[in-house]
Structure 1
Amino acid sequence: MKTKVGADQRVRPSPYGGWLGRHGFGGRNVWGGRHVWGGRHVGRPLLVIALCASAASAQTRLAILQAEDRRAPTANDVGALRSGAHSPDPQTRRLAIRALGRLERAAVITDIVPGLRHELPEIRSESANAIAQAARNADRRAVDSAQTSLAARLKAEADSDVRAALCEAIGRLPYTAAEQIEDAERALVDMAGRAGTVTDRLGVAKAFEALARTAQKIGPLSDDAAALLRRLVTPASGEASSGSRVRRLALEALVTANGVDSATLTAAAHDPDAQARRIAMRAAAAPNHPQTAADRTVLSGGLDDPAAMVRLEALRGNRSCDRTIAAAADRDVHVALAALDQLARCGSSADAISLLEHAVDDLSDAGSLREWHRAAHALVALASAAAERGAAKLPQFTGSSIWQLRMYAARAAAALTDRVALEKLATTDADDNVREAAVEGLTRVAAHDADAVYVSELTRSGYQVVRAAALALEGTPNADAAAPALREALQRLVAEGHDNSHDARAAIEKTLAGVGADRRVGPAAGRTRARAATDGPGRTEGPTRGSAPTVRTKPTETDLSAEDLRRLASPRARIAIRGVGTFELALFTSEAPATVLRFAHLAESGYYDGLTFHRVVPNFVIQGGSPGANEYIGDASYMRDEVGLWPHVRGAVGISTRGHDTGDAQIFIDLVDNPRLDHVYTVFAQVLNGIDVVDRILEGDVIDRIDIIP
């Protein structure tokens, strides 16, 4: 840090510098001073300082946090945040600037812009980030104004952390025209020419990663931008380790822009960083260009890479059944399961069919907590590769005592177009996750011939199966029978008053509207309302399978209190996974106070004990903490988003959502860097140790307990 301030003014630096900026893990001044992270002591967190100042200052800052938590629905709330953004106290000012940005209202950008000139670099960085966040839904005029302010400050800025934040903000503005993209490119290319540090290059690379995604809808990146990114992919002298995030982000941008040439691909495939090699495998397997000899060479080498994440990505691009058969014996279970999945297209290979049959027949350990996966994946693959043999194996799975095996049996039955098996699972199974899979299969196999089944499923308690049944009835020719059942289900869900039934309610309302039926169910129906899912990239590709967001029509009471914020100012969480091991998190109370407090309160109450990680997507995320072991059932009340500067790097911990402010206490952990999730999904923690335990987690693994360590 170039600017030193007194202990009562110390604020957390930008995440671009320090160990996170160089390596993608760790950081400075993130949590309490008695702990060590990344080999150095870190300073007292923002909230400790904020709440231990004078009583008046502490009360003002708490009021800002509470107004943000309510999403500032009143003029008084907005006024309090605007006043705080001009406060002479740096802590108050930073909290208020961040809160204004999180409102995502273009009208407040003018209150944030003066922060770009503040004497403290931390506040300038926060202001840059807040401007981009506030502009997220802005019109072109507001976006142009924001870009002008950010670019002007970038030319004058002396601090590398702030320059990185300014670059990223410029790169992620919601551009809608080619001229805007060109202006952003010029500012970033100019900055790259002046970049003297890894932090500068990180900011440029991060900006282009976001800009490339926006440019996809408008036009290609310029030749100058592509050439710059190719240079950034090559390790600079002495930066083989320290510049790894720069190379990953630059390569991500090139993959998005379809700008990876053979030389760049070959260099990236031999990068010392495993994540860079993983992205190289993805580039070689990209579906938007014919696979070349160079691509095949890279993918072949990737199948033998020492890192499982690289082998997995190479396997996804592999087209050889023989290599896929070999990968089914991989020492990493996630690679082996992916290989079994891919054998579905190897029906002409006798060896592949034999391997799948052997895996399906070997149920000796399938009753164990962590031993059912091979048989389940093999059954679904066999159903596609050799239908008759798959059909012969199906009954031993539909009658299994393990619900996950029955769920996979429903997926296999759909591949086999076995309507009888699907109807039986949909109407008699004890588990609603199995019923959901069966209803989804019936939708493809029988369409509206199975409407009677869908109508019967509307009475179930699981939101996931009610949603699936309502969607299956969309466009039904049997409206007279379906509409009363749909209205009754909607009335029941509205009466329950749970935020997280929104997806089921939205599906019912959509189907009722499609058949011209009355959707009114009484005055309670207005508890939540849907709006279009236009929140930018990642919402439908992130740690849920997505649906329209929800906006509250009635604000909820805040859980934030000064006492809890002091008690949990620098906490850790220890998570024990049954039969796997334990890992620890650093919780970011200063970055996401409402999220940390909700998570901590639930953990301390035992809410998570015995729940599972129900969704495992290798080389993406693991997701868990649902009482129903699915994506549609979580804590009854939604929590708001608290997106910030901390990126979705490997080991970051976020809150799963299905739209803006729809977190229901399900958590996810990034298995790799996922930059497209930045500024969309809250990051409230980072894995401190035990990332190898996280890597070993399988679908259905049980959370024994979560201990909060203040």
Structure 2
Amino acid sequence: MLCIAACESKVKKPVTNVNLFSDSVVVDIYDLADRRDTEALLAYLDHDNAEYRRLSAEAFGSVKDTMAIPKLGILLNDDHAEVRKAAAYALGQSYDSSAVRLLVQALSGEDSVMVKNQMLEALGKVVTQPQIELLYKRPIEDEIKEGLAWGLYRAGLRSVYDGVTTEWAINLLDSANTYLTRLGAAHYLARIKGLDLKKYQKEIIDALTRDQSVNVRMALASALKNLNSKAVIELLSKEIIGDNDYRVKVNSLKALYNYEYEEIKVALYNALTDKNVNVAITAADIIYEKADSSDEIYITEAALKATNWRVKAILLGSALKITNSKSEIFRQIKEQYESSKNPYFKAALLTSLSDYLKGYDFIITKTFAAEHPAIATAGTEALVSLRMQPSFPEELKPAFADIFKQAMETGDIAMVAITSNLLSDTTYHFKEEYDSIDFLYTAKSKLSLPKDNEALQVLNKTIAYFEGKDDIPVTVNEFNHPIDWDLIKTIPQNQKVLVKTDKGDITMRLLVNEAPGSVANFVQLAKSGYFNGKNFHRVVPNFVVQGGCNRGDGYGGENYSIRSELANLRYQEGSVGMASAGKDTEGTQWFITHSPTPHLDGRYTIFAQVTDGMDVVHQVEVGTVIQSVEVLGDKQK
């Protein structure tokens, strides 16, 4: 092999601002990947040029065709470490257990630390439960603990784990290990369902209080969610009221969700007054789910005093659930609705009525007369929530069935998608409510691929259920939007864009080499002014802020789709990704992450990275206006 582990860190590539696509062969490789042309792309795995082999191997991480597995397995023995690493990544992306043998065999003879780490992580994506020992039953030198941590995490996401993997994760939290090792271990403990962590409470608490990385600490806060302990409650409560990063506070609150309300409500009350609105929103959400009538006075007063509209709406909904004076709270909600000009506040107020059956007339009226899609979408969701109540009155079922039929007949993508999910749920026996399902086909006639993929997925499922069929039509977006290579060739690899919002400016560096199709799409939209005046329509505390929807409710897009480009990248703080309704359904919507979100790795395209203005990203709220997106000129790079 040309390069051994000891020399890898010393190899430096020449610094240049020219992207990869001045090379016509590179363009061909990426274009074949974009077109999902497996047969033609396979030929490049045999190319004499190592860089072409690397690029074509990594491309199969997006194409995900199992036909490539045998040839990718051969590349695990390539002379070039970067090629072997790309092949390992692509094999992991196959999520096919036939790749296990290839990876295990290659691992035994691999001398590159970089490649070993990649192979271990890839192995975590493909091992089955009986094979889990293949991850850790080998000598684990310090240099490959990072790969072990992420291999354990990837396997655990698929519910492939055992007691030994959990013990390894605990040991990998040791401060002597690298940041990425500790981060992978912390996310294993935080995200894997069903773990019994009781005997590791001390180790997790110790790591949470001492780790120097806020990213590790916030993950460890989440890991404490299933430990029913006073010590944990006290620690998380301190994290919430302390002068900590708001993201640790948010995760601490979410961890407390599983505890008894009486034990955590003081922490929730404190969080409601936090200077960071994401903390207050998280606390309000938990109060909505868990509060009881003993808190009626406090929550009602907190709702009326709340200055943030989102917190106010959530608390009004909470008060409505627990108060005996429901008519008065309902009056307050209606009054707030009528006096507000903020469509997102109005939408949130309709959501606050999701448990109040007597408010259905108001919800129906506002839903079908909505002046903004976000209001209609929230209203439809509220009506569905009401219908799903276990005690829903028999006498109202025909009326609600007619309401949902009307919603379907509008052809509105959000109404169709939300209503279809309810109608196909066998729990509610909607088959018995309709003499004809012509209205479903009427709704379908108003939808089309690729724009309405998300709604068509669930509508086809609903039609199949009503007709008693097991086969559901596949809703796949055919190739319809080739990459504009002429445009791509003009974009430097360090190209930046400036996103101006009414909260401040955000600068992002486009990853043109890693995601040319997504970058070309974004640049075209930005230069046309597409994003100007639109809103960030979705904000999930310590997760993402999302924009680019032409409706403003998350269901919008244009009549085309682009391909998923799943380069070997990790979602970190400020990663910019493409939203989708499944593989190869991306369009105009994009999001920015608040913190590392590794469960998105290899599943959602990363096409940019925030370089300046993360403080603004952390302030973005639902409704924040994107004033403009400017592709910066050479002088500003």
Which TM bucket (shorter chain)? 0.7 to 0.9
> Matched residues in 1 for 2:490 and 2:87: separation?
25
Cα distance change of structure 1 residues 349 and 323 upon mapping to structure 2, 3 Å threshold: farther
Distance in 1 (alpha carbons) for counterparts of 2:146 and 2:117: 7
Matching of residues 342-361 of structure 1 within 5 Å: 342-344=286-288, 345-350=290-295, 353-360=297-304
Pairing 1:667–2:620 present: no
Q: Shift of residue 618 of structure 1?
A: 0.9
Any idea what SS the aligned residue of 2:454 has?
helix
Residue by residue over 1:571-627, the C-alpha shift from the partner in whole angstroms, topping out at 9 and shown as x without a partner, is 11211111x111211211111111111111111111111111111111222211101
Q: Which of 209, 212, 233 is the matching residue for 1:296?
A: 233
Q: Could you tell me which of 470, 494, 505 is aligned with 1:582?
A: 505
Q: Distance in 2 between matches of 1:512 and 1:563?
A: 42
1:379 maps to 316
CA distance in 2, matches of 1:105, 1:518: 29
**Is 1:510 the equivalent of 2:461?**
yes
Equivalent runs, 1:3-14 vs 2, <5 Å? 3=3
Q: Would you say the 8 A contact 1:342–1:381 is kept in 2? A: no
Structure 1 counterpart of 2:482, which letter?
T
**Partners of 1:106 and 1:235 in 2: CA distance:** 39
The alpha-carbon distance between structure 1 residues 154 and 404, as it changes in their structure 2 partners (threshold 3 A), is same
Which amino acid in structure 2 is aligned with residue 377 of structure 1?
A: I
Q: 1:393 maps to which residue?
A: 332
The aligned runs of 1:355-434 (5 Å cut-off) are 355-360=299-304, 371-386=308-323, 388=326, 389-399=328-338, 400-417=340-357, 418-434=359-375
Q: Secondary structure at the match of 1:551?
A: coil
Q: Do structure 1's residue 699 and structure 2's residue 628 form an aligned pair?
A: no
| Contact 1:163–1:203, Cα closer than 8 Å, also in 2 | yes
1:93-136: CA deviations, max 9, x gaps? 22221223432122211222232233332222111111222x32
2:251 equivalent in structure 1: 313
Q: Contact 1:97/1:126 (CA < 8 Å) preserved in 2?
A: yes
Deviation at 1:695, TM superposition (A): 0.8
Q: Residue 390 of structure 2 corresponds to which residue in structure 1? A: none
**Cα 1:3–1:560, aligned 2, differ >3 Å: closer, same or farther?**
farther
Change (3 A) 1:374 1:444: closer
Secondary structure of the residue aligned to 2:145 is helix
Aligned to 1:486: 440
Q: Which residue of the other structure, out of 189, 203, 228, is the alignment partner of 1:264?
A: 203
How far apart are 1:456 and its partner, in Å? 2.3
Offset of residue 517 of structure 1: 9.2
The equivalences for 1:134-149 within 5 A come to: 135-136=94-95, 138=96, 140=97, 142=98, 146-149=99-102
**Structure 2 CA distance, aligned partners of 1:624 and 1:373?**
18
Summarize deviations over 1:135-166 as a string: whole Å, max 9, x none.
32x3x4x2xxx222222322332322222211
Tell whether the 8 Å contact from 1:458 to 1:465 is kept in structure 2 after alignment.
yes
User: Using a 3 Å threshold, how does the CA distance of structure 1 residues 283 and 361 change in structure 2: closer, same or farther?
Assistant: closer
Partner of 1:75: none
Whether the 8 Å contact between 1:325 and 1:339 is mirrored in structure 2 is: yes
2:536 is the alignment partner of 1:610: no
Q: Which residue of 1 aligns with 2:173?
A: 233
Equivalent position amino acid for 2:476 in 1: V
Structure 1 pair 557–395 and aligned structure 2 pair: CA distance change class (3 A): closer
Q: Aligned partners of 1:530 and 1:486: how far apart in 2?
A: 14
CA distance in 2 between counterparts of 1:429 and 1:517 reads: 35
Q: Which residue of 1 aligns with 2:213?
A: 273
Cα deviation digits, residues 456-478 of structure 1 (max 9, x gap): 22343631122223444442434
CA distance in 2 between partners of 1:530 and 1:298 (Å): 51
In structure 2, distance between residues paired with 1:563 and 1:405: 40
Q: 1:128 aligns with which of 80, 88, 100?
A: 88
The answer on 1:444 being equivalent to 2:444 is no
Q: What secondary structure is seen at the aligned counterpart in 2 of 1:583? A: strand
Q: Give, in whole Å, the separation in 2 of the partners of 1:406 and 1:489.
A: 26
| CA spacing shift, 1:151–1:509, aligned 2, 3 Å | closer
Question: Structure 2 length as normaliser, TM-score?
Answer: 0.87
Q: Does 676-685 or 443-452 show the bigger shift?
A: 443-452
> 1:213: how far off?
2.1
Distance change >3 Å, CA 510–CA 248, structure 1 → 2:
same
Distance (Å, rounded) in 1 between the aligned partners of 2:384 and 2:597: 33
8 Å contact from structure 1 (residues 432, 465) kept in 2: no
Give secondary structure in 2 for the equivalent of 1:613: strand
Residue matched to 1:467: 417
- Deviation of 1:566 after TM superposition, in Å, equals 4.1
Residue in 1 aligned with 2:427? Answer: none
Map of 2:33 onto structure 1: 68
Shift of 1:316: 2.5
Q: For residue 456 of structure 1, give the secondary structure of its aligned residue in structure 2.
A: helix
SS of residue paired to 2:74 = helix
C-alpha distance after superposition, 1:348-388 (max 9, x if no partner): 445x634543533667xxxxxxx533322322222223261
User: Does the CA contact (< 8 Å) of 2:45 and 2:57 recur in 1?
Assistant: yes
2:154 paired residue number = 210
Check the 8 A contact 1:94/1:123 in 2, yes or no: yes
- Structure 1 counterpart of 2:432, one-letter code: P
Q: CA offset at residue 87 of structure 1?
A: 0.9
Any unmatched runs of 5+ in structure 2?
257-262, 388-396, 425-429
Task: State the Cα deviation string for residues 485-513 of structure 1 (Å, max 9, x = none).
Answer: 2222211223xxx4121222233333333
Unaligned runs of 5+ in 1: 5-12, 19-27, 30-41, 53-57, 73-77, 364-370, 520-528, 532-549
Kindly indicate whether residue 598 of structure 2 is the aligned counterpart of residue 638 of structure 1. no
Q: Helix, strand or coil for the counterpart of 2:352?
A: helix
Q: Alpha carbons of 1:282 and 1:101: their partners in 2 closer, same or farther (altered >3 Å)?
A: closer
Distance, in Å, in 2 between the alignment partners of 1:376 and 1:2 is: 62
Task: State how far apart, in whole Å, the 2-side matches of 1:581 and 1:469 are.
Answer: 37
Alignment equivalent of 1:551, drawn from 468, 471, 476: 476
1:563 shift after superposition:
5.0
Corresponding residue to 2:285 among 341, 346, 351: 341
Q: Secondary structure at the match of 1:696?
A: coil
Residue 331 (structure 1) aligned with residue 287 (structure 2): no
AA at the equivalent of 1:408: A
Indicate the SS of the match to 1:584: strand
Aligned length in residues: 600
* Contact 1:398-1:425 at 8 Å conserved across structures: no
Q: What's the CA shift string for 1:245-283, capped at 9, x where partnerless?
A: 321211222342434612212212212222222222212
Q: For 1:208 and 1:362, how far apart are their aligned partners in 2?
A: 43
Q: Secondary structure at the match of 2:46?
A: coil
Moved more, 331-340 or 257-266: 257-266
Name the SS of the counterpart of 1:499 in structure 2: coil
Report % sequence identity. Answer: 22
Deviation at 1:233, TM superposition (A): 0.4
Residue type at the aligned position of 1:309: R
The equivalent of 2:51 in structure 1 is 91
Give the letter aligned to residue 182 of structure 1.
E
Q: Distance in 2 between matches of 1:681 and 1:358?
A: 39
Aligned residue in 2 for 1:184 = 135
Conserved in 2, the CA contact under 8 Å of 1:565 and 1:589? no
Q: Name the CA distance, whole Å, in 1 between partners of 2:368 and 2:586.
A: 31
1:106 is aligned to 66
Change beyond 3 A, Cα 1:90–1:339: same
Matches within 5 A, 1:29-44: 43-44=15-16
Aligned 8 A contact 2:233 2:264 in 1: no
Measured in 2, the distance between the counterparts of 1:430 and 1:509 equals: 29
- The TM-score normalised by the length of structure 1 is 0.78
Asked if the contact 1:82–1:100 (Cα under 8 Å) also holds between the matched residues in 2, the reply is: no
Moved more, 634-643 or 334-343: 334-343
Q: CA deviation at 1:423?
A: 1.8
Per mean C-alpha deviation after superposition, the further-off stretch among 299-308 and 636-645 is 299-308
- Determine the structure 1 residue equivalent to 2:432: 477
